[in-house]
Amino acid sequence: MKRTTLTMIMVAAIMTDTAAPIADASSEPVSHNKWVRVWDPLVRIGHWLLLVAIATALITRGEPETLHQAAGYFVAGYVVFRLFWGIAGPKHARFENFLASPFAAFRYLADLVSGKGTRHIGHSPPGGLMVIALLIAMSLTAGTGMAMEGRTPMPAALQNALHIEDRGRDDDDSPWEEVHEASANLILALVILHIGGVALASIGHRENLVRAMVDGKKRAA
């Protein structure tokens, strides 16, 4: 009896082990990539070079004039590039991907402060509005700066062909000086708000948004 009982227990154990699914690669949980590439190299490089150019332009108000002008022309060139890239660039760089209303931006900020903010892989609503605001302010600053110089961003040969005269700089008589200064101060204010918004969103969503603008990757979920 004991031998029969032992045999039955062994048979049952073998049957149970046979019926159990064999652990292999197909039955194990699939390891998904936790990161997704969001910002392309042109957006990232342009972002940091623009930061250097804006800082240079703000620091060199007046002297040295050549460096100030060079920074201003870089800002103007960046605006042209970003307008093009906002139409023809990758998904997250396009305007259609992040344009939002002021109401959506305020609602996002309110939800973020209350701990209920919806995370966005690309630009958040206030982030998208900040891009537009900075582009407008930079366009105004660069445009009035060139107007103060009496210059246009054209090669000399083309200027001669179109009979465009380089009158030289005369700040005291320029009607654009006050607008140029005001728009430059607006850029500074927007940059400060941008930094504050990045810090707030980084804390609220528990992710390093500064690093994302360096390596281009953000958490997938």
Tens of pLDDT, residues 192-216: 999 999 999 999 999 999 999 999 9
Contact between 155 and 162 (Cβ < 8 Å) = no
Confidence band for 9, pLDDT divided at 50, 70 and 90: very low
More confident residue, 79 or 160: 79
Confidence band for 163, pLDDT divided at 50, 70 and 90: low
| 139 found inside a domain | yes
| 23 found inside a domain | no
| 130 found inside a domain | yes
Strand ranges in the chain using DSSP code E only, listed in sequence order? 35-37, 217-219
| 48 found inside a domain | yes
Q: Residue 185: its pLDDT value, please?
A: 95
* pLDDT at residue 172 tops 60: no
Count of domains observed in the chain: 1
Contact between 57 and 71 (Cβ < 8 Å) = yes
| 8 found inside a domain | no
Confidence band for 171, pLDDT divided at 50, 70 and 90: very low
| 31 found inside a domain | no
CATH of the domain at 108: 1.20.950.20
What burial class does residue 72 get, using C-beta atoms within 10 Å of its C-beta: 0-12 exposed, 13-18 middle, 19+ buried? buried
Contact between 180 and 145 (Cβ < 8 Å) = yes
**Of 208, 216, 46, 200, whose CA–CA distance to 135 is shortest?**
46
**Of 153, 151, 149, whose CA–CA distance to 171 is shortest?**
149
Please tell me whether residue 169 adopts helix, strand or coil conformation: coil
Confidence band for 161, pLDDT divided at 50, 70 and 90: low
Q: Give the angle subtended at the CA of 10 by the CAs of 9 and 16, to the nearest 5°.
A: 90
What burial class does residue 147 get, using C-beta atoms within 10 Å of its C-beta: 0-12 exposed, 13-18 middle, 19+ buried? middle
Question: Percent of the chain beyond pLDDT 70?
Answer: 73
| 22 found inside a domain | no
| 87 found inside a domain | yes
Which contacts qualify for 160-169: CB closer than 8 Å, 24 or more apart? 169/65
Which domain does 175 fall in, by range? 36-219
Letter for the amino acid at 34?
Answer: K
How far apart (Å, rounded) are the C-alpha atoms in residues 140 and 100?
Answer: 22
